[in-house]
A and B are shown apart, each in its own frame.
Chain A
């Protein structure tokens, strides 16, 4: 499977500094009416880094993502993002009346790419997620995993520096979820975009992230650095169990 979006141009990201921040919030507060949804939240995602944000339902994980994505305007604090971040949701959110390739090409809207070029790049991105043969298909004919891969292709076709993922594999069955994780890592290795992954799945966070933030009632209450991760389900980090236990403990889960 090819993982380049532009033939022969796969190294252009690696040439840049690895410590660049591609997305950051600093001291962000947000209220929903009386509810203090985010309390002095600071998050940093560097280029080529995967940061996971875990927390229970209602802890404010998705709100952090919405602020970073620019979908929220009424927050206070500082927001920095490199370019236009790409966002993939828990549901694929494809337009069912447009074929798969057109849906992927919509990921290039902000870049104002000419139509023919957009179609070509969409086809390449589809090939990268292993769906080259479904380019002409209607989205409603896809399986859940395929639709989510199209959604990922749409997010990545514009070669964003920051990819925001809102529980992207949460609605998939366990086996599909594993292959989606592998696909995400494969694409990430090839393009080295920064990722902020919102999830309630501790295993997923440990398997994918360089750093895991635990969010509780709108506050970042814990940060876990995963330095020795192998990022392969076949060869997990020897410390996986310890990381898992630490995160579950911080989330208030007793096992």
Chain B
């Protein structure tokens, strides 16, 4: 319906084509990008950046959150600097990261990792602190080793909240990537969009934005599936 009105508005000249092209033109641009393989290349590059950043930041965030959740000593030493770092807007670090790490893949991946690590760190930390102490007492009675405590109590008990952290982290990962790719990139979806701006291809810009949105929705759906699995024991 909305698309129909949009197409109609474009055809009758109500919507100026240099501001918002008709849906048919955007779809055509999309098909063109897919056909030339440009979109697949850009998607692969951006996807690798997000995945690498998520893995790096996720592992660091979860490990630090676990350590701080389990040990008062780690809380005293790790938490204050983490809270200070968290107060910095990580997107504001882009100029610094360019000077430090150049304009290759490294600064983009690191920026994603930095943004991703905080929600995972905070959620892991607070999830571990909320584990029922009675479960640990039961583990002591049963004679669990540390590894068994981790596998049978900590991991399943904290999984739902860590996954909430992962959803927040996914959103931050894509947001960070969009900003980082707008500023300096020679490939990826951000580059596609920036390049299109130079050639006044609004249709291509919109295709790029739609791709970003779809990636965000897609990764969120994956985490929702994981969440359902982590909570399957609930009646």
Give A contacts to B, CB under 8 Å: 69, 71, 84, 86-87, 89, 91, 93, 95-98, 106-107, 109-110, 138-141, 154
Q: Closest approach, in angstroms, between the C-beta of B87 and any C-beta of chain A?
A: 36
B137 touches A106 (CB 8 A): no
A97 touches B156 (CB 8 A): yes
Given A71-B140, A109-B144, the answer on whether A93 and B233 have CB atoms closer than 8 Å is no
Given A95-B135, A97-B233, the answer on whether A106 and B152 have CB atoms closer than 8 Å is yes
B134 touches A109 (CB 8 A): no
A98 touches B152 (CB 8 A): yes
Given A138-B233, A140-B233, A141-B235, the answer on whether A95 and B152 have CB atoms closer than 8 Å is yes
Q: Which residue of B has the minimal Cβ distance to A112? A: B143
Q: Which of B138, B144, B148, B152 contacts A89 (CB 8 A)?
A: B138
A93 touches B143 (CB 8 A): no
Q: Closest approach, in angstroms, between the C-beta of B90 and any C-beta of chain A?
A: 34
Q: Which of A84, A95, A154 contacts B153 (CB 8 A)?
A: A95
Can you list 19 A-B contacts (CB < 8 A)? A71-B137, A71-B141, A84-B143, A86-B141, A87-B141, A89-B138, A91-B134, A93-B135, A95-B135, A96-B233, A96-B234, A97-B157, A97-B233, A98-B233, A106-B144, A106-B152, A109-B144, A140-B235, A141-B235
Given A95-B153, A97-B156, the answer on whether A107 and B233 have CB atoms closer than 8 Å is no
**Contacts of B135 on A, CB cut-off 8 Å?**
93, 95
B138 touches A93 (CB 8 A): yes
**Contacts of A106 on B, CB cut-off 8 Å?**
142, 144, 152
6 cross-chain pairs, A with B, having the tightest CB-CB distances, nearest first: A110-B143, A97-B156, A138-B233, A93-B138, A97-B233, A87-B141
Apart from A93-B135, A95-B153, A138-B233: 9 A-B pairs, beta carbons within 8 A:
A69-B141, A71-B141, A87-B141, A93-B134, A96-B234, A98-B233, A106-B152, A140-B235, A154-B142
A106 CA to B142 CA in the complex, in Å?
7
Q: Which residue of A has the minimal Cβ distance to B143? A: A110
Q: Closest approach, in angstroms, between the C-beta of B64 and any C-beta of chain A?
A: 24
Q: Which residue of A has the minimal Cβ distance to B134? A: A93
B142 touches A109 (CB 8 A): yes
**Contacts of B134 on A, CB cut-off 8 Å?**
89, 91, 93
A106 CA to B153 CA in the complex, in Å?
12
Q: Closest approach, in angstroms, between the C-beta of B149 and any C-beta of chain A?
A: 11
Q: Closest approach, in angstroms, between the C-beta of A168 and any C-beta of chain B?
A: 14
**B interface residues, how many (CB within 8 angstroms):** 17
Per-residue A-contact encoding for B188-202, CB less than 8 Å = 1, 0 else: 000000000000000
**Contacts of B235 on A, CB cut-off 8 Å?**
138, 140-141
A26 CA to B81 CA in the complex, in Å?
51
For chain B, residues 138 to 165, give those with C-beta under 8 angstroms from any C-beta of chain A.
138, 140-144, 148, 152-153, 156-157
Identify the interface centre among A71, A96, A141: most chain B CB within 10 Å of its CB.
Answer: A96
Q: Which residue of B has the minimal Cβ distance to A107? A: B142
B142 touches A110 (CB 8 A): yes
A89 CA to B153 CA in the complex, in Å?
18
A123 CA to B41 CA in the complex, in Å?
55
**Contacts of B233 on A, CB cut-off 8 Å?**
96-98, 138-140
B137 touches A109 (CB 8 A): no
Q: Closest approach, in angstroms, between the C-beta of B229 and any C-beta of chain A?
A: 11
A199 CA to B234 CA in the complex, in Å?
31
Q: Closest approach, in angstroms, between the C-beta of B131 and any C-beta of chain A?
A: 11
A253 CA to B215 CA in the complex, in Å?
70
**Contacts of B144 on A, CB cut-off 8 Å?**
106, 109
B140 touches A109 (CB 8 A): no
A174 CA to B135 CA in the complex, in Å?
27
